[in-house]
Structure 1
């Protein structure tokens, strides 16, 4: 028993056949016209401003002379900067595991530190001075020491009088 052909199916079949015939016509037209693209038609040129053109460049264009000694090839050496000494407060310190975090007083950043980078003894909430060093997981505090709370000399002299 054959399948029934509805109107929609017949129209779709006609469209498919028409597409196939159109494709074959295009293919035949392409074969008949041949390859009109010669090698000269496919060549493109770049002018002195970097634009692509179909005309070859003229030979009388004045070229700017560049001294090859003036061209810098390598990146300049980074100048050694003195590390800035930062101030911070010890937010957390685990003596048994030997690590902690320092919160920078000038900002909101917290920096990890290890007990090996501490000079002297510190505890939580101490004000310390430290340097920064890039670690595997971010910036680490190094050269950590308690901040000196000694009074300036001129204040000490005025109090003793």
Structure 2
């Protein structure tokens, strides 16, 4: 005759599991009864058109229809302005130029942006505070001033 595989320890663990399940079911029933007494359930929150949480649903007549194709994901490419297309030659002032190192910076007179200028992009010799004409070209770190002429 074979011995039972059920040991004392296994039966005790099974009793503990059963007891935990029963306690959990009792707590669940108590929560349900409490929610019915309070007349509740889960309260709903809505988001109004300004992004604030409110307890009243929004008016469906004010809903705005948006097409999925109109949504732009990411950063849109910068379009050139009209003046950039028609007049590639810009005017500016040399704010800094180091002849020993061969580079400097030019401040655009229209938008006060500072552009890098290398000695290889010069047509005339320039010094600090000179007024110059230049064109912009995309470089490794941004826009560079090229074909720089002294005015």
Q: Give TM-score, length-normalised by structure 1.
A: 0.43
Higher Cα Rg, which structure: 1
Task: Return the TM-score normalized by structure 2.
Answer: 0.45
